[in-house]
Amino acid sequence: MALTLKTEKLERIRRWSNDYVSARTFAGLSVLIHQNGQEVFFDATGLRDVEAKTPFDRDTVARIYSMTKPITSLALMMLVEEGRVHLDAPVSRFLPEFAEPRALTEGATDLDQSTPCAVPTLHQLLTHRSGLSYAFNPGLVPESMAEQDITFAPRAGTLETMCQKLATLPLAFAPGARWEYSVGIDVIGRVIEVVTGQSLADVFQTRIFAPLGMTETGFSVTPTQQNRFAALYTPLAGNAMDLNAGSTGPETLRLVDCGPTSPFTDPTCLSGGGGLVGTIDDYARFIEAMRTGGQGLVSPATAAFMMCNHLGSDIASLGPSSFAEQPMRGVGFGIGGAVVLDAALSGVPGSQGDFSWGGMASTFFWIDPVHAFSVVLFTQLSPSSVTPARAELKALVQGALM
């Protein structure tokens, strides 16, 4: 039975947000909740730029990093619906540089210890079962990615050249063998460019952003957004993008990136896995479109297909123990986001079928199909693994259902 979110219970979120800001864990944050298509809660508190003392407002522009992935995934599914691609197609059909892949042998101690393997499919790229990895993951392939700057960062190169460099490395494992968070959806972004003959930015703008009224979202911070662009902070002494780092520094809000010097003001790489910036209202428009069946971008059947589990089991049964940004037990993965299979097993209150994902700067969203609501959290603290904010917010919202 669907329950209603009660306003008086949702007010607990304001105290929770203020506590995080008062403790200087987050510089600022905002939370936006819709139920049955109506806004039922919004709060913004703290600062988007501590040094400039500017408030974290509703129109603050933030880096959404991996919350780009569901948007890229939707763009590909639009092409699937049109019969222009199919999910079991090998990526080499569109990107020939991936035509002769090799995968590391079990227990390899050197990149040369590899054997020929199957070409990853588009479906495996979308669901992180392709054998690709991320530079911040542990292992031989991630280490080589970091050394060669194969990061798909805003100024790491172009999307085309990043994919070409990536294809020179062996896969971390044979496609389908296990689950590992990866740059697979960045590669999907390049596939979209090849199939459409357009840049990923143009595809997003014409096919998703304009139809949904997402006027504040894109790969670069525009001149009119510059004074609303949030600074990025980290509590880590070292690399702010290290998901598994345990070394914190003396400053909980060490400045990492801000203002006109940010690479997001003039990016060269249109990262479908983590390159977008935007506002909380824009992102809410996107997830509400998904919650309500695609709003004409895709069919309701395709939207539902994206938000169901594609793994056959939970991530924990297929994934490496080192990945810690999201729960893995009791949680599967769909097309572009995680799917709750068993909330009790995950250890986080929620509903079966909750569809979610987050970004490196601690942004987060989820869609609850049982109680017809969606939630977006915006803040700018990297990496997201340093606080339990996502689980806490889910518990606060779940506690407001009456």
pLDDT value for 248: 81
Q: Are residues 51 and 90 in the same domain?
A: no
pLDDT value for 239: 87
Q: Contacts by 146-149 with C-beta closer than 8 Å and gap 24+?
A: none
**Six-digit token pair at 322?**
């080192």
Q: Which residue, among 169, 58, 167, has the nearest Cα to 110 in the 3D structure?
A: 169
pLDDT value for 371: 98
Give, for 195, the enclosing helix (H) or strand (E): helix 184-196
Residue 207 forms part of a structural domain: no
In Å, the largest CA–CA distance within the chain is 60
- 393, 55, 201, 257 alpha-carbon torsion, rounded to 10°: -90
The domain boundary residue, chosen from 162, 196, 230: 196
**Six-digit token pair at 36?**
């049955």
Q: Are residues 377 and 257 in the same domain?
A: yes
Residue 83 main-chain phi, psi, to 5 deg: 75, 15
Residue 222 main-chain phi, psi, to 5 deg: -80, 160
Provide the domain count of the chain: 2
pLDDT value for 323: 63
pLDDT value for 1: 82
Q: Are residues 167 and 251 in the same domain?
A: no
Q: Are residues 260 and 345 in the same domain?
A: yes
The domain boundary residue, chosen from 196, 229, 245: 196
Q: What are the counts of helices (DSSP H) followed by strands (DSSP E) for the chain?
A: 13, 14
Residue 227 forms part of a structural domain: yes
Q: Are residues 114 and 20 in the same domain?
A: no
The residue ranges of the chain whose pLDDT is under 70 are 244-246, 321-325
Q: Are residues 56 and 85 in the same domain?
A: no
- 201, 206, 207, 209 alpha-carbon torsion, rounded to 10°: 80
pLDDT value for 327: 80
pLDDT value for 324: 58
Spatial distance between the Cα atoms of 334 and 345, rounded to a whole number of angstroms: 18
**Six-digit token pair at 204?**
């997003």
pLDDT value for 108: 96
Residue 242 main-chain phi, psi, to 5 deg: -90, 100
Residue 107: Cβ-neighbour burial (10 angstroms; 0-12, 13-18, 19+): exposed
Residue 203 forms part of a structural domain: no
3-state DSSP of 152-174: CCCCCCCHHHHHHHHCCCCECCC
Q: Are residues 152 and 273 in the same domain?
A: no
Give, for 190, the enclosing helix (H) or strand (E): helix 184-196
Give the domain extent around 174.
77-196
Residue 272 main-chain phi, psi, to 5 deg: -70, -10
- Asked if 201 and 218 touch (Cβ cutoff 8 Å), the reply is yes
Q: How far is CA 171 from CA 86, 134, 220, in A?
A: 22, 11, 31
Q: Are residues 184 and 275 in the same domain?
A: no
Residue 202 forms part of a structural domain: no
Residue 211 forms part of a structural domain: no
Q: Which residue, among 294, 302, 322, 297, has the nearest Cα to 385 in the 3D structure?
A: 322
Spatial distance between the Cα atoms of 90 and 323, rounded to a whole number of angstroms: 26
DSSP-assigned letters across all residues of 263-278: GGGS-S---TTT--EE
Residues ≥6 apart with Cβ < 8 Å to 321: none
- Asked if 44 and 376 touch (Cβ cutoff 8 Å), the reply is no
pTM for the model: 0.97
Can you give the CATH number for the domain in which 247 is found? 3.40.710.10
Task: Establish whether the linkage from the previous residue to 383 is cis, with ω within 30° of 0.
Answer: yes
Report CA torsion sign: 281, 286, 292, 295.
Answer: positive
Report CA torsion sign: 104, 105, 106, 108.
Answer: negative
Residue 226 forms part of a structural domain: yes
Q: Are residues 285 and 386 in the same domain?
A: yes
Residue 77 main-chain phi, psi, to 5 deg: -65, -25
Q: Are residues 242 and 389 in the same domain?
A: yes
Q: Are residues 236 and 350 in the same domain?
A: yes
**Six-digit token pair at 315?**
């991530």
Residue 280 forms part of a structural domain: yes
pLDDT value for 325: 65
Residue 358 forms part of a structural domain: yes
3-state DSSP of 237-249: CCCCCCCCCCCEC
pLDDT value for 246: 64
Residues ≥6 apart with Cβ < 8 Å to 316: 328, 329, 330, 331
Q: Are residues 180 and 280 in the same domain?
A: no
